[in-house]
Amino acid sequence: MLPLDDIKILDLSTRAPGPFCSMALSDLGADVLLVEAPAGTGSLGPGLEGDAAVRSAALNPLRRNKRSIVLNLKDEEARALFYRLAEDTDVVMEGFRPGVSQRLGVDYDTLKGINQRIVYCSISGYGQDGPYSQLPGHDVNYLSFAGVLGVIGSRDGQPAIPYNLIADFASGGLLSAMSILSALWVRQRTGQGQYIDISLADGSMYLLADVVGSYYATGVVPRPGAMRLNGGSPDYQAYRCKDGKYLSIGSLEEKFWVNTCAALGREDMIERRNSEPDAVLAELREIFGARGRDEWFELLADKDTCVSKVNTVDELESDPQVQARGMMIDVPGPDGRPMPQVGIAANLRGTPGRVRSAGPAPGAQTREVLQHLGVAAEEIERLHASGAVG
């Protein structure tokens, strides 16, 4: 048994937040059907064909465990098929700009009239209302708006732009998954679905709750590189080592800091971290620059200090902790050869998730899904020829 193996999801989203959300839910067993636009008619662009499309889709972990049907929702017959799918689904997800789902006729109010139990999740940059609702953007824009970029960076004020992990995957993907599961739990008690309005900007600001709270408590505006947790303290830093690799130290608590200084033979720094933080920071940079990263890690890891190697992506697979936790797995590829992918982080010991299949090429299950709806073979051919389905 998988935790969500009785949940059906129609996923209209195409960009990172929605696919990450439905990946997380599908890893836990949800039956996710991607409803994709024909190549060249939607935001996916011209698309790939043949073996190239099959391999590209299979290599994409955000498509794993899912099925795909291609529907041209601008076509009346295709929309009618979508409505039939909506009659027997639990969740609909979309990532259009506000107003697009209404123009396509696949908005919550329309689908609620077909199935009142539907949980409908819209994921957009700034939400469905407000003066910025139609403003386009990407991860860097939402982090900028929410104040996140204002606390990440160097002391000279230059913001450091993180990879699109925060707004897209955390504020968008994970928050959407949590919200969908919450709405499904409410439906268990009420029998009614509901509408979910996820804003990547709202979610990014939500993640900044502690920093905002600290500002209102102290009146101090947090600055890049000046706070204890963003580079302003020697006990919470990434240090460049002799081999050019980096080591992170996070010894905030007194006992961990004492252990770190003792392991380095520099007990004189214990009291100085608060009185002379810049001097201690400079000294530690010199110290860590004298040996390689892995040598320092081996030295400090068994001294009860908060230490970690700053791994690059290509180093993850060989890390013993990654191996022990099963966070890199092999998924059967389209040619039968295993493909490495990130494992499942939601570690339910009683009912663990499972990667059951590699990602499908767009439209790989169109015929199968239409046959399940009872559409005759000759009718499927006609719909293909008309461009309603693909």
Instruction: Compute the average pLDDT of residues 12-37.
Output: 97
pLDDT of the residue at 48: 61
Question: Residues 171-229: pLDDT tens digits?
Answer: 999 999 999 999 999 999 999 999 999 999 999 999 999 999 999 999 999 999 988 99
Which range marks the domain in which residue 95 is found? 8-206+326-386
Question: Are 304 and 345 within one domain?
Answer: no
- Does one domain contain both 176 and 258? no
**Residues 135 and 26 placed together within one structural domain of the fold:** yes
262: domain CATH number is 3.30.1540.10
304 with 365, same domain: the answer is no
Does 353 lie in the same domain as 267?
Answer: no
In a domain, 214, yes or no: no
Answer whether residue 64 is part of any domain.
yes
List, for residues 82-141, the tens digit of each pLDDT value. 999 999 999 999 999 999 999 999 999 999 999 999 999 999 999 999 999 999 999 999
The predicted structure's pLDDT at residue 122? 98
How many residues comprise the chain?
390
Q: Let me know whether 177 and 271 are in one domain.
A: no
Specify if 25 maps to a domain.
yes
Model confidence at 44, pLDDT cuts 50, 70, 90, reads very low
Residues ≥6 apart with Cβ < 8 Å to 299: 263, 291
Q: Distance between CA atoms of 278 and 233, rounded to whole angstroms? A: 8
CATH number of the domain bearing residue 135: 3.40.50.10540
- Considering the domain architecture, whether residues 115 and 200 belong to the same structural domain is answered as yes
* pLDDT at residue 42, rounded to an integer: 47
Query: By C-alpha distance, which of 144, 149, 225, 177 is closest to 21?
Result: 177
pTM: 0.94
Residue finishing a domain among 284, 309, 334: 309
Note the pLDDT of residue 89: 98
Residues 165 and 35 in one domain: yes
In a domain, 229, yes or no: no
Q: Please check whether residues 117 and 44 belong to one and the same domain.
A: yes
Please confirm, yes or no, whether 168 is among the known catalytic residues.
Answer: yes
Is the pLDDT confidence value at 46 over 60?
no
Do the domain assignments include residue 213? no
Question: Are residues 154 and 290 located together in one domain of the fold?
Answer: no
The answer as to whether 139 is a domain residue is: yes
Give residue 40's pLDDT: 66
Residue among 8, 12, 4 at smallest CA distance from 362: 12
- Is residue 89 in a domain? yes
Q: Rounded mean pLDDT of 346-358? A: 96
Query: Do 32 and 99 have their domain in common?
Result: yes
pLDDT of residue 157: 80
Q: Does some domain include residue 118?
A: yes
Active-site option among 31, 139, 168, 235: 168
Structurally, the chain folds into a number of domains equal to 2
Q: Is 86 exposed, middle or buried (0-12, 13-18, 19+ CB in 10 A)?
A: buried
Average per-residue pLDDT for the chain: 95
208: its two tokens: 């900044």
- Tell whether 34 and 106 lie within a shared domain: yes
| 290-338 pLDDT per residue, tens | 999 999 999 999 999 999 999 999 999 999 999 999 999 999 888 888 9
Q: Read off the pLDDT of residues 240-265 as tens digits, 9 standing for 90 and up.
A: 999 999 999 999 999 999 999 999 99
**Which residues are 31's β-sheet partners?**
8
